[in-house]
Amino acid sequence: MKRFLGFLVLGLVLILAIASCNLTSSGGGGGDIVVASKDFTEQDILGELLAQQIEATTKLKVERKPRLGGLFVCHNAIVAGKVDAYIDYTGTVYTSILKQKSISSAREVFDKLKAAYAQQFKLEVMPPLGYESTFAMTIRGEDAKKYNLTNLSDAAKYTPQWRGGFGYEFVERPDGLAGLVKTYNLRFREPPKLMSLDLIYRALTQGLVDIVAGSSTDGQIARLGLVVLKDSLGYFPPYEAVPIVRQETLQKYPELKAAISQLIGKITAEEIQKLNSLVEGELRDVKEVVREFRKSQGL
């Protein structure tokens, strides 16, 4: 366990160092608005959607900072004024940034988050895009069939035979691995493997791990015949996708709020999962996929 924690700390230090380099060197400047995204496919899509929407409906020029880093990197960047806007998930920032205990009411989480972000960070949390992207504890379809598994409560008795594979952020977050293990009394065959989110499904299908923490909107889940275990004890909070924008930026460019507001309620979980699949499974260009989606929605 000491060795595991040591590797975790080293990994987090490296991630923060790389992200710091991205903040200072990736953009090159020149934009009125700086839009960032976190470091996985869905965020690539959301960041590009936000950027295209602003460019198409205003005269503002957008500087993109894709794959900036994880939650804390993006949060620190927007608070410091290095980024003007990005999209995050309500339960994620509610538990990890505000350090609040998980609650099940999506409306209550949003209202408390909006008020706290405005007061503490001068950030505007805009209404949800229309879908929730929750953590998905995922196993191979053949294992779900073999053990007749549909939920985490039933899976707990088999996890001592399994190996887990999780992203760095899931391991360290208060709504992540530690609380999940405690809630469901999970035990694993060996210390969980820490890996990039881009690799978890490959590791799962190749038999290198037996359970991973993905996202409910990941396009690869259906395409690879994987099964998401239901959170039968309601451990995870709601994770609605919401734009987060600096209040100072909204005051400087009043047209920005109207532009972003056109995205509110426009995306379903099925639609974002399809977009993820187009990018990951069919290797389509993110800009093209987003452009086609905006056209289909009349944006």
| Residue in this structure with the two tokens 């929407």, named with its chain if needed | 53
Which CATH topology does 33-132+239-297 take?
D-Maltodextrin-Binding Protein; domain 2 (3.40.190)
Instruction: List, for residues 12-30, the tens digit of each pLDDT value.
Output: 544 444 444 445 433 445 6
Q: Kindly tell me if the per-residue pLDDT of 31 is higher than 50.
A: yes
Q: How do the domains of the chain map onto residue ranges?
A: 33-132+239-297, 135-228
Is the CA virtual torsion 164, 169, 170, 174 positive or negative?
A: positive
- Express each pLDDT in 60-93 by its tens digit: 999 999 999 999 999 999 999 999 999 999 999 9
Cα-trace Rg, the chain: 19
Q: What is the mean pLDDT of residues 217-242?
A: 95
Residue corresponding to tokens 């959170």? 231
Residues in CB range of 60: below 8 A, 6 or more apart? 32, 33, 54, 253, 255, 256
- Lowest mean pLDDT of 83-87, 122-126, 218-222, name the range: 218-222
Q: What is the pLDDT of residues 279-294, one digit of tens each?
A: 988 999 999 999 999 9
Transcribe 130-141 into DSSP letters. Answer: S-B--EEEEEEH
Mean pLDDT of the chain: 91
Distance of CA 232 to the CA centre of its chain: 21
CATH 1.10.10.60 fits 135-228, yes or no: no
Average pLDDT over residues 84-111: 96
Tell me what the mean pLDDT of segment 208-225 comes to. 95
